[in-house]
């Protein structure tokens, strides 16, 4: 198995990598022997896949779990002339593409340079795009996320804090997912029953509090939080925070989904701008196709091998290139999910036909149409 590592200004070097049938070209910028992760141009890693015989991606089935939702009052960032709902559970909240597009233009004009995909998504959610200081790795951005997702362990304190705020409704679409308190010991049915018995008081509090304050509630057994998000709530251009380390899974649908603590979730639900240190950008350029016996997981394992467990700290990993089209939407989600293993703030893939197909397969054809229209 041959992998070729190419560094700018150096000779080509060959070395073996066990278990991956890919041709890898790595092109990075170096200054005084050090990667300039904080530079205006992102690090660019070029991957080339060979020997392809990729099976068609399995289409995810729409989740049919009941949810309890009440009428909500949402922040103006969700307002737009488009009349396509952001999810089948949020029929009165529409895709914000027109507003996000106008904000991107404001920031591009101010910075006087092109923006990467992750920058477009991030900066289009600035609370004050006209005046916000934007410097990678230095400035703190005040952002307006589109959505909040909480797992049952952290949602308890978050909801208690929100209740103490005295507000009547959450400011943005929010959901609670009961999955973390279910311990795997014997088998699905028995473990679920045991969790319901042990955590009955917790589940009752979360469901009733969610009903009162307009937070969607996914009961125990509904599924894993990051998978529910991908199948029901994620859409290209979304900025979401979630109280779970696997929140970046949503990057497989062109979202910036970032894992946070409960206090951050409370801020956003209470209509307070969320602060994030302006992340650096690491670009990963994929070319060619994945071979028939490799998987998307091999991609992130190789990236982790290069960057190490701390190499992505303070950065967004942004995948791009023609090789992206050979990866299924769920495969892209897997790669983004595991970005947490290298310390990345989050990861993202660009919108493409694989994502459009996934949206259609999960009952969101309208979103696919709008995303295609605004895709650039």
**SS3 per-residue string spanning the chain:** CEEEECCCCCCCEEEECCCCCEEEEEECCEECCEECCCCCCCEEEEEEECCCCCCCCCCCCCCCCCCCCCCCCCCHHHCCCCCCECCCCCCCCECCHHHHHHHHHHHHHHHCCCCCHHHHHHHCCECCCCCCCCCCCCCEEEECCCEEEEEHHHHHHHHHHHHHHCCCCCCCCEEEECCCCCCCCCCHHHHHHHHHHHCHHHHHHHHHHHHHHCCEEECCCCCCHHHHHHHHHCCCCCEEEECCCCHHHHHHHCCEEEECCHHHHHHHHCCCCEEEECCEEEEEEEEECCCCCCCHHHHHHHHHHHHCCCCCECEEEEEECHHHHHCCHHHHHHHHHHHHHHCECEEECCCCHHHHHHHHHCCCHHHHHHHHHHCC
Q: Write down the pLDDT at residue 53.
A: 33
Question: In the chain, what's the furthest Cα-to-Cα distance?
Answer: 64
Of the candidates 170, 177, 174, 181, the one whose C-alpha atom is nearest the C-alpha of residue 213 is 170
CB 245 within 8 A of CB 262: no
CA distance 256 to 348: 6
Q: How far apart are the first and last CA of the chain?
A: 37
Tokens 């049919």, residue located: 64
Of the candidates 242, 252, 225, 221, the one whose C-alpha atom is nearest the C-alpha of residue 317 is 252
Q: Write down the pLDDT at residue 82.
A: 60
Domains by residue range for the chain, with CATH: 117-374 (3.30.499.10)
Tens place of pLDDT for every residue, the chain, 376 residues? Answer: 222 332 333 333 332 333 333 323 332 332 233 333 333 344 444 444 433 333 333 333 333 333 333 333 334 344 344 689 999 999 999 999 999 999 999 999 999 999 999 999 999 999 999 999 999 999 999 999 999 999 999 999 999 999 999 999 999 999 999 999 999 889 989 999 999 999 999 999 999 999 999 999 999 999 999 999 999 999 999 999 999 999 999 999 999 999 999 999 999 999 999 999 999 999 999 999 988 889 999 999 999 999 999 999 999 999 999 999 999 999 999 999 999 999 999 999 999 999 999 999 999 999 999 999 988 5
Distance of CA 179 to the CA centre of its chain: 19
Tokens 């050979």, residue located: 326
Residues linked to residue 147 through DSSP beta bridges, in sequence order: 240
pTM, two decimals, is 0.79
Q: Six-digit token pair at 35?
A: 């990667």
């Amino acid at each position: 198995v041959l992998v070729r590592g190419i560094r700018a200004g150096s000779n080509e070097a060959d070395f073996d990598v066990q278990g991956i049938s890919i041709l890898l070209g790595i092109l990075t910028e170096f200054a005084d022997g050090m990667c300039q992760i904080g530079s205006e141009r992102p690090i660019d890693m070029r991957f080339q896949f060979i020997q392809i015989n990729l099976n068609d991606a399995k289409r995810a089935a729409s989740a049919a779990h009941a949810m309890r939702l009440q009428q909500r009052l949402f922040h103006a960032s969700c307002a737009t002339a488009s009349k396509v709902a952001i999810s089948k559970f949020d029929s009165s909240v529409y895709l914000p593409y027109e507003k996000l597009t106008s904000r991107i233009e404001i920031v591009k004009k101010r910075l006087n340079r092109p923006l990467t995909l992750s920058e477009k998504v991030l900066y289009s959610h600035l609370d004050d795009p006209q005046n916000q200081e934007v410097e990678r790795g230095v400035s703190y951005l005040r952002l307006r996320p589109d959505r909040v997702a909480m797992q049952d362990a952290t949602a308890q304190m978050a909801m208690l804090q929100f209740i103490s705020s005295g507000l009547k409704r959450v400011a943005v679409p929010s959901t609670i997912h009961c999955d973390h308190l279910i311990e795997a010991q014997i088998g699905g049915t028995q473990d679920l029953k045991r969790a319901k018995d042990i955590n009955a008081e917790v589940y009752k509090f979360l469901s009733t509090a969610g009903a009162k304050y307009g937070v969607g509630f996914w009961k125990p057994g509904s599924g894993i939080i990051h998978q529910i998000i991908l199948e029901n709530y994620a859409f290209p251009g979304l900025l979401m925070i979630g109280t779970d380390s696997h929140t970046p899974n949503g990057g497989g649908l062109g979202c910036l989904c970032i894992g946070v603590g409960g206090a951050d979730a409370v801020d956003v639900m209470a209509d307070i701008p969320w602060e994030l240190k302006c992340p650096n950008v690491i670009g990963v350029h994929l070319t060619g196709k994945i071979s028939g016996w490799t998987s998307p997981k091999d991609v992130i394992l190789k990236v982790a091998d290069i960057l190490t467990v701390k190499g992505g700290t303070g950065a967004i990993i942004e995948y791009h290139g023609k090789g992206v089209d050979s990866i299924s939407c769920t495969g892209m989600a897997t790669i983004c999910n595991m970005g947490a293993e290298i310390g990345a703030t989050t990861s993202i893939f660009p919108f493409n036909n694989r994502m459009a197909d996934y949206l259609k397969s999960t009952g969101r054809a309208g979103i696919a149409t709008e995303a295609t229209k605004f895709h650039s």
